[in-house]
Amino acid sequence: PKTHHFDWNIHYADGAPDGYAKRQIMINGQAPGPTIECNEGDEIVVMVHNHLDVGTGIHWHGMFQNSTPYMDGIPGFTQCPIPAGGSFEYRFRVQGQFGTYWYHSHEAVQYTDGLYGPLIVHSPNDPYQQGRDYDDEIIILLADNYHDYADKIVREMLSPAGYKGTPAAPSPQSALINGRGVFNCSMAEHKSRCADLKTPTRSVVPGKTYRLRIINGGSHAFNYVSIDGHMLDVIAADGTPIFKQSVHRIPLHNGQRYDALVTMDVGEPGDSFLLRSFIETSCFAVVDPALDPTANLTLQYQFFPEEPVSSPVPRDWSDMNNSNNTGCVDFSDDLLTPLIPQTVPENKNPDGVGKFITGFGFMNISSTQRVGRFFVNGTSYVNYINRPFLESVHRGGAINPAQITSMTFNDDVWVADIILVNTDVIDHPYHLHGVESHIIGRGSGNLTVEEWKTKSFNTINPPRRDTIVVPQKTWAVLRVFSDNPGVWAMHCHIAFHLAGGFMGAVVIHPEAIKQLPYPSSVLDLCPTDAASLNTIEVP
């Protein structure tokens, strides 16, 4: 196994992802940041220098952080923020995992403005291999783009007046693929800040098969991805290889990844086909009238042996409407059968079950003013700068129930069920850190713990992935092997909902957390004076 060293300077920079100038947050001059690529078993070391004027923390989405929960990267939760002007070294080993992941800031909505990037893990254990199943790889990192600075959006959204008059999460102005999009400048709020961009082109070799690694690194938008005239063979959901499924288009909610094989065998050299990422606008409560929901990448069949000289007009072989799914809902679970089977044990242990009931509501902030927020078991998460939850438990303390709801699986519990109930009128992408989620059941309405006791679940090779869509007014049950001590986040991956309090904590093996060899570099991030540890940071 190798160790991969990265040195990252995080800074503000002027960018124009879709042609409209805005302030972004970049890594070493790039947004999205550099791609991390490694092999299973390797160690990743990232030195982060924070040149912002606020704190930050980087999360490695989907990495389980086995025995290194303090490297999970959530400010206020698993560490104190890396302070403005400060540095911190993340160091962790990629154990027992491979596939398509990503990283992003887990502080407020910093990743919405560019602080995110791909994390790819290769492995001889991957049943789909380059050289046999495909010839080359293409990373497709999706995002939604907001012309306003995201932190400003959130501050207004969580104020009594709301953002543009509503407490609802905003709609973006454009879609991005690998950080690039297009926008119709005639719709721009300040036309002098806008330039019309062209759709980027990537050449592909006729006859070759590509593995697309598609990541939805967006903050609110649900996307469909398709390639005109080509079928996509889906081979992995998040980090889990699945039995191949041929589809016309792939739905992804925030945080989700799908890998798909596509063979370039329907055109002639010089032909072009659009890879389309399309934002499903019906998933938003409010839609910005200027929104252009499409981001395209022109795939041009290479002239062989010459390089392509021009971009022909893309053939319109669109089959966007030919689909096996509609609305803002994920593939159904029966399309996601893992290729490496796992049977999960039965679980009737009353100490091995917990429940998160989530929904939208209003919080009174004075006798006359209220703000919209999300609640998990009645609590809306607020990020105070105090001892991070993980460190509190490590020191033998407790998690402040006024700040976040938590469930605890004690050191004698090895299999645990987490019941997720979505009482909202929209679908949410739920993401669990630290342990692998097996989706063993779903249903409509609520599921009580009494009903859970007598219900039979799908324990024979159920789908497993780290981010699942729970549709409105339904429940889902995740069964996990609770063998990785830590305080793990469960949250909605819509960045604006997370910022509005949509997060709970799962404490696994608190006695083992006390025994963790805790690096002093992590402890040193926290200020030592008690007063500064109890200031409220965000509304």
Which residues bind to ligand C2O, rule: CB under 6 A? 59, 61, 104, 106, 255, 431, 433, 489, 491, 493
Triad 239, 244, 248: Cα angle to 5° = 100
Return the bridge partners of 139, or none: 213
- C-alpha 337/C-alpha 507 separation (Å) is 29
Minimum separation from the CB atom of position 94 to ligand C2O (A): 16
Q: Is 243 in contact with 289 (CB distance < 8 Å)?
A: no
Is 106 or 230 the residue whose CB approaches ligand C2O more closely? 106
Q: Least Å distance between CB 167 and ligand C2O?
A: 22
Of residues 428 and 491, the one with the C-beta less far from ligand C2O: 491
Judged on CB neighbours under 10 Å (0-12, 13-18, 19+), 34 is middle
Strand spans (E) along 71-173:
87-93, 99-105, 116-122, 136-145
Smaller CB separation from ligand C2O, 119 or 225:
119
CB contact at 8 A, 376 and 502: yes
Contacts of 65-68 with C-beta under 8 Å, sequence gap 24+, read 65/92, 65/433, 65/434, 65/484, 65/486, 66/93, 66/95, 66/96, 66/484, 67/484, 67/485, 67/516, 68/92, 68/93
Which CB atom, from 356 or from 457, has the smaller least distance to ligand C2O? 356
- At its nearest, how many Å lie between ligand C2O and the CB of residue 464? 17
If the CB atoms of residues 439 and 490 are measured against ligand C2O, the closer one turns out to be 490
To the nearest whole angstrom, how small is the minimum distance from the Cβ of residue 196 to ligand C2O?
Answer: 32
Nearer CB in complex with ligand C2O: 115/344? 115
Give the strands of the sheet with 474-481, arranged side by side.
370-376, 353-364, 415-422, 474-481, 438-444
- Asked if residues 214 and 259 have their Cβ atoms less than 8 Å apart, the reply is yes
Strands 272-279 and 257-263: unpaired
Q: How far is the CB of 491 from ligand C2O (least distance, A)?
A: 6
Q: Is 500 strand, coil or helix?
A: coil
Q: Please identify the residue of the shown chain whose CB is closest to the bound ligand C2O.
A: 61
Nearest Cα neighbor of 178 from 221, 213, 219, 229 is 213
Please identify, using beta-carbon distances, which residue of 220 and 493 lies nearer to ligand C2O.
493
Separation between Cα atoms, residue 454 and residue 459, nearest integer Å: 14
Return the closest-CA partner of residue 365 out of 129, 536, 176: 536
Q: Using the minimum distance from each CB to ligand C2O, give the nearer residue, 61 or 373.
A: 61
Least CB distance to ligand C2O at residue 197 (A): 28
- The CB-of-512 to ligand C2O minimum distance in angstroms stands at 22
The nearer residue to ligand C2O, 464 or 493, going by C-beta atoms, is 493
Q: Residue 26 is inside which H or E element, if any? A: strand 22-27
How far apart CA 97 and CA 231 sit, in angstroms, is: 28
CA-to-CA dists, residue 260 to 100, 234, 354, angstroms = 11, 4, 34
Nearer to ligand C2O, 73 or 354 (CB): 73
Q: Which is nearer to ligand C2O, 72 or 391 (CB)?
A: 72
Compare residues 38 and 503 and give the one whose CB is closer to ligand C2O.
503
Whether a cis peptide bond, with omega within 30° of 0, leads into 32 is yes
Shortest distance, position 354 Cβ to ligand C2O, whole Å: 18
Is 55 in contact with 75 (CB distance < 8 Å)?
yes
Q: Least separation, in Å, of the C-beta of 229 and ligand C2O? A: 33
Q: In whole angstroms, how close is the CB of 60 to ligand C2O at the nearest point?
A: 9
- Give me 180's structure tokens: 């690039």
403/416 Cα distance (integer angstroms): 24
Minimum CB distance to ligand C2O, residue 432 (Å): 9
Toward ligand C2O, which CB reaches closer, 19 or 434?
434
CA distance 7 to 53: 19
CB of 374 to ligand C2O, least distance (A): 14
User: Which two structure tokens, joined as six digits, stand for 159?
Assistant: 């104020």
Q: Is 156 exposed, middle or buried (0-12, 13-18, 19+ CB in 10 A)?
A: middle
Distance CA 60, CA 58 (A): 7
Q: Compute the least distance from the CB of residue 319 to ligand C2O, in Å.
A: 31
Residue linked to tokens 């920079």: 13
